[in-house]
Chains A and B, each alone.
Chain A
Amino acid sequence: MATITCEQLTKRYGSVVAVDRLDLTIQHGEFMVLLGPSGCGKTTTLNMIAGLEEISDGTLRFDAKDVTWQPPHQREVAMVFQSYALYPNKSVRENIAFPLALRRTPRAEIARAVQDVAEQLEISHLLDRRPSQLSGGQRQRVALGRAIVRKPSVFLMDEPLSNLDATLRVSMRSLIKHLHHRLRATFVYVTHDQAEAMTLADRIAVMRGGLVQQLDTPEGIYARPANTFVASFLGSPQINLVEGEIAPDGSFVRGALRLRLPEGAAAPGRAVMLGLRPEDVAPPGPGLVTLEARVDLVSPLGSETLLEVIAPGDVPLTLRVPKDWRAREGEVLALGLDPARLHLFDRATESRL
C-alpha cells in the first residue's frame, strides 16, 4: 500500500512545460486514471511517478517518503506499457520471473510465484514460448504478469489496452478491474479512452496542456464537468454545446431558440455556452422545458438510437434516445429537457457556471 503525493510536480523540456505544478494525491488502493488527449502531460506524469523521467521541480512522495530523486528500481513500482515491452530474448516464464530474479528471490519461490500468476492470467500453457510467438492479447497478459508477480504497492499503466482490438480491450478491461479488486494496490492508469477511464477509475484526473482540468469521481466528472473541455472529452456522442446569451428574464437565448433555466442560473446579459448531454432528453412532461426540433438523421444502434435534429435557430443537436422512440427523418419532434440537467459555461473562460 502506498499513497502517492505529487506536490507542485513540474516537467520542463527546454522551454516547453509538459507538466505544470501538478498537485495530486492518490490514496492507498485507489484506481486513479489520468485522462486526456495526446500531449496533455499524462504519460509524462506517469513516467515521473515511475522514475523514468527526471522531475524538473516539485516533490514526489510515496507515503511519507520523498522519492523525487530515487531511481526507478528503488521505488517498488510495477509498470505495464502500451507496447508490452517484453524481453524478446527471454521466454514467457523468464519474462515474468525477471523482476524476482533481479531481487535474488529463491528459485523455488520464483517458480511458485510464476505458476501462480500464470494461472491467474490463464497463460500457463504459454510459459515456454517466446514473445514473438504470442498474440497481442497474450503479450499484454504476460506484461501484466511481469508486473503483478512482484506484488508491488504501486501499479503504473501507460495505455495498456490501446494496441488491442475492441473486443479484447473490453475483456482485458474487466481483467484489470478484477486485478485491482484482488490486489488492493494503488493503480495509476493513463489513457485517452474515456470509456476505459469511466469504467475503471475510482477517480479521474482530466488533463490538458500539463494542467489538471478536473479531479473527481467518474460520475462527478460526467454530471458536473468543470469546463467545456472536460464536458466534451467525456461522453459519447459528445455533449452538445450551444453558444448564446442569458435574456433579461433569465432564459437561454440563441436566435429563435429560447430555453427556460432554473432560477438564478446566470446573470442576464452574460455570454454563455449551453451544454446538453445527448441522452438528457425525454418526452415532454411536467417540469420539463419543451423544445420542438426537426429530425435530420436517424441512426439506429440496436440498443438505442442516435438522432441528429435541428432545433429552432438552426441549432444542430445530437441526441441519444431509447430504441422504441419512433422518429422519422423530416418530422418535427417535441422534446422535453430537464432544466436541472442543462450545463452552463461561461463563454470567455469556458468554466462551469
Chain B
Amino acid sequence: MARAARPVAPRILRALLLTFFSALFVLYVAGPVAWLVSSSLQTEAQITAVPPNWLPPEMNLSNFDAILNAAEREVTYETRRQGDPATGGFLPSGAANLIPSLWNSLTVGLWVAALNLLLSVTAAYAIAVIDFRGRRATLYTVLATRVVPDIALIVPLFLVIRNLGLINTLGALVVTYLAITVPFTIFILISYFEGIPRDLYRAARIDGCGHWGALRHVYLPLSLPALVASLTFAFLTSWNEFVFALVLTQNVAAQTLPIVISGFVMDFTTSFSFVNAAGVIAIIPPVLMAVLFQRYIVSGLTAGAVKG
C-alpha cells in the first residue's frame, strides 16, 4: 500500500529532535562513567584543574599502579607524609585490601548468581507449572518479603548472622544477597514460564518427561533470555551491594569491593585519583559480563511452537 510521503521539513525536525534527546540521554547515563575512566588516568592536580581536563593530558597509569601494588608498599608515617595532602597524594591505608576484596566480591557474586538461579528456577517452575494447593499464597509470601525495606532488616539480620557465628564470612553475604535476589528472580521467571505455551509442557509430559525433564527440555531452553537476565541481575546486585556488607563484614577476610573502596575516603583527605582508579577496577567485571551475555538476551525463542 502506497502511503503519501510526509512533508520533508517535519521529518528533518523529527530526526533532529530524536538525535538531540538521544545524545542528551547518553550524556546523562555515560557521562559520569566517562569522567570516572578519564579521571582515573589523571593525577590529582590534573583532576582538580580549572578548566577541567575532559581527556587525560597523558596516559598515566600511576594511580592503578599505586593502589594495585599497595600491599607491597610499606605505609608508614614518613611515606604517607611524602604525599601532599593538598593534592590528595595520600595512598589510602585500605588500598592493600583492594585485590583480596576483588576476589571476595567475585566469589560472593558468582555464588549468588549460581545459587539464585538454582533456587529460583525450581521454585518458579513449581509455582508456574505445577497446580498445587496454596500456590498463589506461596508466591505472595515470597514477594511479601521484598516489601520490607532492607534497612529495616539490618539489625535483626546482624543478630541472626552473629548468633550463627557467620559474621565476617563470605557465606553470610551469599545468604543475605540470596534473600534479596531470589524473590525477585522467582517473580520474573514465573511470568516468563507462564508465557511458554502450556501445550509444550503437556507434550513433554506425554512424550515421557517427568517434571525435571519438562524443566530441562522445555522451560530452561526456552527461557534462556530470562535466565541470563537473572544471572546478571543477581551478580550485579551482589557486586554493588554496600549496606549489608558494611554491617556483616569487618576485615579483609570477607570485605567486598564497595566497602574497601569506600574506605578510600578518609577522615582528613580524599584522593580522587585513587578512588576513581578503584572505581574503574570495580566496573570492569560487570561490563565484561554485560558484553558477554547481551547476545543471549533475545526474544522469539518460542516462535513456531504452537499456532500463533
Contacts and interface: CB of A to CB of B under 8 A. Distances in A.
Contact of B222 (A86, A88, A146): A88
B301 interface: yes
Nearest to B131: A54
A99 interface: yes
Contacts of A52: 202, 205-206
A54 B205 CA distance: 14
Contacts of B221: 89
A102 interface: yes
A23 B164 CA distance: 60
B217 interface: yes
Nearest to B300: A132
B208 A79 contact: no
A99 B199 contact: no
Nearest to B214: A73
B207 interface: yes
A250 to B, nearest CB: 54
Contacts of B131: 54
Contact of B206 (A73, A86, A88, A132): A73
B307 A82 contact: yes
Given A79-B202, A79-B203, A89-B221, A84 B306 contact: yes
A103 interface: yes
Contact of A85 (B209, B213, B301, B305): B305
Interface residues of A, number: 34
Given A73-B208, A73-B209, A88 B307 contact: no
Contacts of B134: none
B4 to A, nearest CB: 35
Contact of A134 (B202, B301, B304, B306): B304
A24 to B, nearest CB: 20
A114 B222 CA distance: 24
B156 to A, nearest CB: 40
Contact of A81 (B199, B209, B210, B304): B199
Contacts of B199: 81-85
B197 interface: yes
A77 interface: yes
B180 to A, nearest CB: 31
Interface string A93-110: 000001100110000000
Contacts of B210: 71, 73
Contact of A102 (B208, B301, B304): B208
Contact of B207 (A51, A82, A133, A146): A146
Contact of B203 (A51, A81, A130, A139): A81
A102 B207 contact: yes
B305 A73 contact: no
A12 to B, nearest CB: 13
Contacts of A102: 207-209, 213
B66 interface: no
Contact of A88 (B202, B204, B305): B305
B200 interface: yes
A86 B205 contact: no
Interface string A40-57: 000000010011101000
A99 B207 contact: yes
A98 B214 CA distance: 12
Interface centre among A50, A85, A163 (most CB of B within 10 A): A85
B303 interface: yes
Interface of A: 47, 50-52, 54, 71-73, 77-79, 81-89, 98-99, 102-103, 130-134, 136, 139, 146, 156, 163
Interface of B: 131, 197, 199-200, 202-210, 213, 217-218, 221-222, 301-307
The 3 nearest A-B residue pairs measured at CB:
A132-B304, A83-B306, A131-B304
Given A52-B205, A86-B305, 12 more contacts: A72-B205, A81-B203, A81-B306, A82-B199, A84-B305, A85-B199, A88-B222, A88-B305, A98-B217, A99-B208, A132-B303, A163-B307
16 contacts: A51-B206, A71-B210, A83-B199, A83-B306, A83-B307, A85-B197, A85-B199, A86-B203, A86-B305, A88-B222, A98-B217, A130-B304, A132-B303, A132-B304, A133-B304, A139-B304
